[in-house]
Amino acid sequence: MNSKLQIHWFRYDLRIADNPALHAALTAGHVLPVFILDDTDDVTSKIGSASKWWLHQGLQSLNLSLGNRLFFCRGDSKEIIPRLAEQYGVEAVFWNRCYEPHWADIDRVVEEKLVRFGVAAKSFNGSQLWEPWEVVKRDGEPYKVFTPFFKRGCLSHSLPDEPVGLPELYRWKDNIKSQMSLEDLGLLSSHDWYQGLRERWVVSEDQAQKTLSGFLEEKLSGYSEGRDYPAQPKTSDLAPLIRWGQVSIHRIYRELCRKRESYVDLEAADRFFSQLGWREFSHCLLHHFPGLPDHNMQKKFDAFPWIEDDFMLKSWQSGNTGIPFVDAAMRELWQTGFMHNRLRMVVGSFLVKNLLIDWRLGRDWFWDCLVDADLANNSMGWQWIAGCGVDAAPYFRVFNPVLQGKKFDAGGEYTRRFVPELERLPTKFLFNPWEASDSILSEAGVVLGETYPRPIVDLRASRIRALKAYASIRGDKKTSQI
């Protein structure tokens, strides 16, 4: 048996089961499990506030699973990993690959340094179904449209890796103790604003397995339609668990395939699989186009006449726009770190089209507030809704939040939950209270401009303004042509 020391470097793989790098490390010898809070890189890699809370909970749970053996560090991974390897005479360092540009750069530097020290560097795919550089067109060029990417690129490719399961042996290096605690990482604010997150989420590998099983057994049926209705518990709740690696994407895929073999609602299963495909697509785009988080993929949008308006932006961020369906979604985001996909499109459209505020400001707010904040998904999603991405919604498709609310929250349950000021308002006027008479507002205890804001923008006029702005970068003379 090999008694030499191995390091497993935890990052976005906060689990023991189906962790290919950890599995290989434990097979190779005794393992020192390491986590580094790398706070040295550019702003796109900084962890948002809600994600810091999730990461703290995830590390706490993982450390307990490891028998409090997790070796905590804070600083520059490019320096810390080689230093630990040299200091403790490590034979090999194992890690699961991260695909964001800054992490790819870190990985290259770490591997080069380890090789110079005579230490083996072994990386694995623990977070994607397919490697981003493998799913390309026949000419080697990356796909820029989702449908051919998914159908020709993914579905015609070799099957994803099988999950590795639990390690057969647990051989930890117990005589090396961390000099830093989880609390020393400083992930949590001194101001405890996390009550809504605690009520909404349980963060652990065990809970991740329960969430996956519960979704496949109880929620998958009707998922294709139910996921659009925020009052219905039809979302998978897997996004942050996938993001931080409490559950293996390979296990999700295999469990879904097994479920599909004997499942009646194939449309729901296929729709969920396509959502996994969108995640793959976003990471492939980020791999091939590292400027995705900051730069318009359609260069004509570089000339778009965005408006700088701090009042409008803060009203949107705080859920005080006077447009109830938008406000409900933004308040859910702040309170729970989550927002339904349908509502992400609605609030995104409102920001970039009705308010003409740069999509990058929306990207930043989501990055700070979402527990599932993922650089690839967040960047592609905002470019999609802004119309400036490679496979984006047309800019002239402006979501009407009143009609969206009436269609997808017809009974008003969701909107009333997060906008209780309007709880007594008749459903007919719940999504457009400015159209209610003074007597109806009075009976409901609503005073526009006092108990609930008036709309910060006229929806019809702002839509026309958005179309004119889009026409200006297309060179169109008539907005009616759009």
The CATH number for 76's domain is 3.40.50.620
Q: Which of 125, 145, 180 is the last residue of a domain?
A: 125
Maximum separation of any 2 CA atoms in the chain, in Å = 82
**Cα distances (Å, whole numbers) of residue 26 to 160, 240, 339:** 23, 26, 38
pLDDT of residue 458: 97
Q: Which of 265, 289, 313 is the last residue of a domain?
A: 289
Residue 9 phi, psi dihedral angles, 5° rounding: -100, 105
In which element (H, E) is residue 363 found? helix 359-369
On whether both 406 and 331 belong to a single domain, the answer is yes
On whether both 370 and 395 belong to a single domain, the answer is yes
With respect to residue 183, please indicate whether it lies within any of the assigned structural domains.
no
Q: What is the 3-state secondary structure (H, E, C) of 57-83?
A: HHHHHHHHHCCCCCEEEECCHHHHHHH
pLDDT of residue 482: 28
On whether both 304 and 280 belong to a single domain, the answer is no
With respect to residue 199, please indicate whether it lies within any of the assigned structural domains.
no
**Cα distances (Å, whole numbers) of residue 91 to 22, 83, 175, 334, 394:** 15, 13, 17, 45, 53
pLDDT digits (tens, 9 = 90+) for 411-436: 999 999 999 999 999 999 999 999 99
On whether both 143 and 118 belong to a single domain, the answer is no
User: Residue 30's domain spans which residues?
Assistant: 5-125
Token duo for residue 329: 């979604």
Domain count, the chain: 3
Q: Letter for the amino acid at 390?
A: V
On whether both 109 and 244 belong to a single domain, the answer is no
Give 40's strand partners: none
* Cβ count near 47 (within 10 Å): 17
With respect to residue 182, please indicate whether it lies within any of the assigned structural domains.
no
Q: Which of 243, 265, 289 is the last residue of a domain?
A: 289
User: What stretches in the chain show pLDDT beneath 50?
Assistant: 1, 476-482
On whether both 348 and 459 belong to a single domain, the answer is yes
Give 120's strand partners: 92
Residues 6+ apart with CB under 8 A from 108: none
Token duo for residue 260: 């599909």
Instruction: Supply the DSSP symbol for 142.
Output: B
With respect to residue 404, please indicate whether it lies within any of the assigned structural domains.
yes
On whether both 320 and 364 belong to a single domain, the answer is yes
On whether both 305 and 446 belong to a single domain, the answer is yes
Give 96's strand partners: 124
* Contact present, 30 and 23 (Cβ < 8 Å): no
On whether both 368 and 238 belong to a single domain, the answer is no
Helical residues (DSSP H) of 370-481, grouped into ranges = 375-386, 401-408, 413-418, 427-430, 438-443, 459-474
Residues 6+ apart with CB under 8 A from 227: 234, 235, 271, 340, 341, 342
SS3 109: helix
pTM of the model: 0.94
On whether both 82 and 160 belong to a single domain, the answer is no
SS3 244: coil
The CATH number for 244's domain is 1.25.40.80
On whether both 42 and 61 belong to a single domain, the answer is yes
With respect to residue 448, please indicate whether it lies within any of the assigned structural domains.
yes
With respect to residue 186, please indicate whether it lies within any of the assigned structural domains.
no
With respect to residue 346, please indicate whether it lies within any of the assigned structural domains.
yes
Dist CA 296 CA 434 (whole Å): 36
On whether both 267 and 145 belong to a single domain, the answer is yes
With respect to residue 195, please indicate whether it lies within any of the assigned structural domains.
no
